[in-house]
Amino acid sequence: MFVLIRTLVYASLFVAFFLVFLPARVLAWAGVGAPTIIGPWQVVGAAFTVAGALLALACVLTFTFVGRGTPAPFDPPRRLVVRGPYRVIRNPMYVGAAIALLGAALFYGSWAMTSFALGFLVVCALFVRFYEEPTLRTMFGHEYAAYCAHVGGWWPRRRAPSACRS
């Protein structure tokens, strides 16, 4: 139960900062307000935002109940998480958050928000490359290498598997 409480606190802080506060600042800086009419782009954007948020939520819950830890780097899962959305790609939480941000960009019709979403993905990719992957290799060794060999990092794998970066 304590791990669930920790996860809810950390995930709420992450969502509040990266997916609400910063995007609101980007929209305000760009002078973008709420759309005056709800058209097809707003509906598609809202659908993407909900889908991305649901994917991210599934990841958080998988970290909690399968990994027995949280998404926070300072309180990581105790077990390697390879179930749920992690069966398909290794970084679904970041992908879900980026989909939600891109949905907001569509909803608001904002190039500034699109740039923020793409910047978010670049920062996540660098974080994964230089912190997460080395840490997971150290923590889980051969188990992580086998996982990398079968599951793509950012896209589902359709070709012969290759190992994670060394």
Q: Is residue 9 part of a domain?
A: yes
Domains identified in the chain, total number? 1
Span 30-54, pLDDT tens digits: 999 999 999 999 999 999 999 999 9
* Residue at 141 is within a domain: no
| Identity of the amino acid at 152 | G
Q: What pTM value is reported for the model?
A: 0.89
Residue 138 lies in a domain: no
Please check whether residue 163 lies inside any domain of the structure. no
Q: Looking at residue 159, what is its pLDDT?
A: 60
For CA atoms 144, 149, 152, 156, give the dihedral sign.
negative
Q: Print the domain residue range for 64.
A: 2-31+38-128
Q: Tokens for 83?
A: 């179930």
> Do the domain assignments include residue 117?
yes
